[in-house]
Structure 1
Amino acid sequence: MNIKRYFQSEPSNVGSSLSSSSKPSKIDLDDLPRDPSERKPISSYHPTQKDGIRLAYLLRGPCQPTEHDFPQTNYSGKLRRFNPDWYAGEFGNWLEYSVEADKAYCLYCYLFKESGQSEAFVSEGVQCWQKAREKFGGHVGKCNSFHNKAREKGEDLVKQARYIDVVVDEGTDIPKRQ
């Protein structure tokens, strides 16, 4: 799916301040930082670019390096490290790891952070290799958690983009809902 055709940005005026009424600067969606610790907040992007950037990250998927020598941290006399096996199963669609920061992040919460939400899995990252499955499960939380709302928004954005892509590719009018 070529999302660039839906989210082309106009070049900005040099030296202009970023506001919702200013023109956005050109962003190469293929050049967005892969490592979660190197990303700038979604809120810092121009409003007309946010969904394009979110979609690019969602289609790319979470940053999940496996061929890395994960450093060990001493927890009460026991050495612990990030375990790439945590990508499997219930955490696989959102759990990210930063090689630069040796911390875990949440792709969905980064993309759809809400006011009042903790920065732990968003921009600060977490280094909780002891009882990590419990801590990751706690991050996911119950049905109405920040995480689950963010996941739903992400899934909806991908569905919407795929629907638009099918309609455009087939050259048809938007089908009537039944």
Structure 2
Amino acid sequence: MSDYNASRKKNKGNSTLDAYFQKKRRTQEDNTSSPIATQNQNENESSPSAPNTTAPTRERVTQFDINSLSYDPGLRKRISDYHPDDQDAVRRAYIQRTVVQPRDHDFQQRFVGGGMRRFNPDWYDAYKTWLECSIAKEAAFCFVCYLFRDDIGAMDGDGHDTFVSKGFKGWNRPHAFSKHVGAINSVHNRCMEKYNALIDPQTSIQNVLSPVTPQARKDYQTRLVASLDCLRYLLLQGMAIRGHDESENSFNQGNFRELLKWYAKRKKKVAKVVLKNAPEIIK
């Protein structure tokens, strides 16, 4: 009798334990299959913060072909639509093609300003570096603003998008071309500056305002190399660079200045660009 009771008690315990886990599994399955759980799962899958979500990126131009670019100014894709690593290559490709200025095209007449008017090819002569005309849209565009307007941060709606994306068709207002050029710091002139710097770095505004002769560049390089040599020695020795009094009348201008003067007195080429009394020392 005692063996029977013990066996019954053991089986009862097992059945109770099995029932507990079966009940727990059913509860988990019900929660998983419930509409709320399904909705939360769908929200997690479509959430922008999900780890599998990736932001769209601009496609790289893997095999850049100049012939793949649209020739007509009215059909071009904006420079900002290209991958950042390809934008300069696209600019150079368009510069290689030069400005689009068709002269033999029979430009369409439109009723503008009280009369029938059309684009005048003679306008190219006045604005030969940037004025373009689209045959597809029968509209005028600005070449340099197309290339660099997005690069300088100009926003749409500032008036310059007319010459970049929309196209200018006010043939009764040719003075709008001069207005588009604007003052010295206008969007157009800033784009022109970038255009000139890209095709010829020597024509950049920094070099125009501060011309440097080849000899001045050579002297600068000599002075720079000598200064770096002295600084390298002081750093390797763990010595201080500056002095307490580095004025011209000081008897000790600090380790760097004193070492540079000592070095210059033994190198005539360095003395010419470092010391004020270089002619006396060279003699």
TM-score bracket for the superposition, by shorter chain length: 0.7 to 0.9
Q: Which of 150, 154, 157 is equivalent to 1:115? A: 154
Q: For residues 81 and 47 of structure 1, do their structure 2 counterparts lie closer, same or farther at Cα, with a shift above 3 Å needed?
A: same
Runs of 5+ consecutive residues of structure 1 not aligned to the other structure: 1-15, 162-174
More displaced stretch, 145-154 vs 73-82: 73-82
Which runs of structure 1 show a deviation greater than 3 angstroms over 4 or more consecutive aligned residues? 22-25
Q: CA RMSD in A?
A: 2.3
Cα deviation for residue 52 of structure 1 reads 1.1
Taking structure 2 as the reference length, the TM-score comes to 0.48
Q: Quick check: 1:82–1:129 contact (8 Å CA) kept in 2?
A: yes
Query: How many angstroms apart in 2 are the aligned matches of 1:130 and 1:98?
Result: 18
Higher relative contact order (CA 8 A, sep 6+): 1
Q: Deviations over 1:149-178 (max 9, x none)?
A: 0011011111149xxxxxxxxxxxxx9982
Q: Quick check: 2:112–2:170 contact (8 Å CA) kept in 1?
A: no
Q: Which of 134, 137, 141 is equivalent to 1:101? A: 137
Query: How many angstroms apart in 2 are the aligned matches of 1:110 and 1:32?
Result: 14
Query: How many angstroms apart in 2 are the aligned matches of 1:82 and 1:155?
Result: 27
Runs of 5+ consecutive residues of structure 2 not aligned to the other structure: 1-54, 203-213, 218-283
* Identity level (%): 40
Q: Quick check: 1:64–1:87 contact (8 Å CA) kept in 2?
A: yes
Taking structure 1 as the reference length, the TM-score comes to 0.74
- Structure 2 partner of 1:137: 178
Q: For residues 23 and 57 of structure 1, do their structure 2 counterparts lie closer, same or farther at Cα, with a shift above 3 Å needed?
A: closer
Q: For residues 57 and 177 of structure 1, do their structure 2 counterparts lie closer, same or farther at Cα, with a shift above 3 Å needed?
A: farther
Structure with the largest fraction of helix: 2
Q: How many pairs were matched up? A: 146
Larger radius of gyration: 2
Cα deviation for residue 59 of structure 1 reads 2.4
- Structure 2 partner of 1:128: 170
